Amino acid sequence: MTYIMSLFLLGLVLGLVAVASNPSPYFAALGLVVVAGMGCGVLINYGGPFLSLVLFLIYLGGMLVVFAYSAALAAEPYPESWGSRPVVSYMTAYAVGVAVICSKFWGEWHEFSWVPGDELDEVSVFRGDIGGVALMYSVGGGMLVVSAWVLLLTLLVVLELTRGLSRGTLRAV
């Protein structure tokens, strides 16, 4: 289990380096998806699969809105990719910075802190996030519907803001 957790944390750091070093929103969106997936994998390992699923879906919906808005505003004909010289130099600088910080704290963290939450309860039939799911759908159902409508409204507003001169998503056909 420690190897899987190490893989998720390494993917999280590499995704963050890819997002931080890339000036183009087209290529940084893939890094954001990797960061979201790896962060949700860390949450799954700590015993929150439903929370991880909800966060991943909400994050991808929000990222779709932000990506549509930023891609429409930064429409460059030749965006810089991960292989270009400035992006590679930024990635190298960030990777060296992460390695230096990790070397400073290398002896102060241990494997026992990576024990998932499910491995501590041997005979438990109640998971930690199931109580929250029941509470969210019973008491928080109205807020769940309101937040879904707010996300839909935000998506439509951003798509209308980023439309062209006469083209849009809500035009009459």
- Domain coverage including residue 85: 2-126
pLDDT of residue 48 exceeding 80, the answer is: no
Residue 132 lies in a domain: no
51-106: per-residue pLDDT in tens? 788 888 887 777 777 777 767 666 667 777 777 888 889 889 998 998 898 888 77
53/40 Cα distance (integer angstroms):
7
Residue 142 located in a structural domain: no
pLDDT at 20: 84
Flag whether the pTM goes above 0.75: no
Comparing 171 with 33, the larger pLDDT belongs to 33
Average pLDDT over residues 107-125: 60
- Structure confidence at residue 52 (pLDDT): 84
Look at residue 93 in the predicted model and tell me its pLDDT: 92
Residue 56 falls within a domain, yes or no? yes
Residue 77: CB atoms within 10 A of its CB come to 4
- On whether residue 136 sits in a domain, the answer given is no
Output the CA–CA distances (angstroms, integers) from residue 75 to 32, 66, 80, 131, in the order listed: 19, 14, 12, 45
Question: Which tops the pLDDT comparison, 122 or 23?
Answer: 23
Name the domain count of the chain: 1
DSSP letters along 144-158, please?
Answer: HHHHHHHHHHHHHHH
Region 102-116: mean pLDDT is 68
47, two tokens:
């015993």
Q: Does residue 69 form part of some domain?
A: yes
* Tens-digit pLDDT profile for residues 135-155: 777 887 888 889 889 988 887
Q: Is 101 contained in some domain? A: yes
In contact, 142 and 51? CB cutoff 8 Å:
no
Q: Please count the residues of the chain.
A: 173
DSSP labels for 90-146? Answer: HHHHHHHHHHHHHHHTGGG--GGGG--GGGT-SS----TTHHHHHHHHHTSHHHHHH
135-167 b/e (C-beta count within 10 Å ≥ 16 → b) = eeeeeeeeeeeeeeeeeeeebeebbeebeeeee
Of all residues in the chain, the percent with pLDDT exceeding 70 is 72
**Residue 118 three-state SS:** helix
pLDDT category, 173, cuts 50, 70, 90?
A: very low
Domain-embedded: residue 85: yes
Report which DSSP code applies to 82: T
- The most confident of the ranges 3-12, 16-25, 57-66 is 3-12
Instruction: Specify which of 18-27, 47-56, 110-119, 146-155 reaches the highest per-range mean pLDDT.
Output: 146-155
Is the residue at 134 inside a domain? no
